[in-house]
Amino acid sequence: MRYVVLRDDDTNALTPVEYLDRLYRPFLERKLPVNLAVIPEVTTKATMANGQPEGFLLAQPKHGAERVRLEAGSKLARYLRSRPLYEVAQHGCHHEYCEFDLQSSQEAAARLDKGRELLIQAGFPTPTTFIAPHDKISRISYQQLARRYKVISTGWFELRRLPLSWWPKYALVKSQKRPHWRTGKTFLLSHPGCLLSCHRPYEGMLERVQEVIHRQQLTVLVTHWWEYFRGNKPDDNFIAVLHEVADYLANAKDVRVISFRDVGDGKAAMN
């Protein structure tokens, strides 16, 4: 059996419910869990490495607020809570640039705890999975993460950023070319890049997804909801590819779609 964790990044208080529903209704109807990396209190000044505004800022808040938190009574929070197959993972705190590439354990702990508490206040279960904005995690932040979360999902691991006590285990994992590993009670998952991206050719995208899934026991399949609605206009061709992936995942006899929580509970092989 092959396992797939579908991870969609950057849901936040400004995300239109209609966009998520259009993308993921076919998954939910097929009983396939969708893991949403949710920003607890998004900064409206979020930028990419080149200084350009982040793509997930498709809307701007009223009164020009610099940060907007996901509130329990909002349309988005109510929508997500009403659909149990959505699992909310914690995506940083504000999604400031490389906000967990920190050298202060106090600051890292404060940001983690604030983000976690905001998600709980919004009516979601205590998050057990953490996803760092821009995949940058300092050694100090890793130590704080391991105390709080069962799963850390990131693009890759760098030896120099890992706690020293993790080095022997990571060296073994690296020598065995394993994409995922575990230290203590924490599972550390990497992913093969954003296979579902508007920056890749749509033709053959499904086939590339299938190839990767069948190369390993567990695949974290990453995408970003806003890439399907660039400029607030739906990319129908890209959306059609995502829905083809839903059909494949639902019908493949040797593939099971699971949640990050399932991984944290030890319900899937990781090799």
Question: Which pLDDT score, from 0 to 100, does residue 82 have?
Answer: 98
What's the pLDDT at 271?
A: 65
138 secondary structure, DSSP code: -
Write down the H helix ranges in 33-104. 75-81
pLDDT above 80: residue 91: yes
pLDDT, one tens digit per residue, over 196-212 is 999 999 999 999 999 99
Give pLDDT tens digits for 149-199: 999 999 999 999 999 999 999 999 999 999 999 999 999 999 999 999 999
What range defines the domain where residue 199 resides?
2-264
> Of 51-60, 147-156, 223-232, where does mean pLDDT reach its minimum?
51-60
In a domain, 270, yes or no: no
Q: Please report, for the domain that includes residue 180, its CATH number.
A: 3.20.20.370
Non-local (6+) Cβ contacts of 40 within 8 A are 69, 70, 90, 91, 92, 93, 94, 114, 115, 116, 118, 119, 122
Tally of domains in the chain = 1
Beta carbons of 33 and 250 less than 8 angstroms apart: no
pTM for this predicted structure: 0.95
Answer whether residue 271 is part of any domain.
no
Residues with Cβ within 8 Å of 218's Cβ and at least 6 positions away in sequence, in order, are 2, 3, 4, 5, 179, 180, 189, 263, 268, 269, 270, 271
pLDDT at 117 over 80: yes
Query: For residue 267, what pLDDT is reported?
Result: 85
In a domain, 176, yes or no: yes
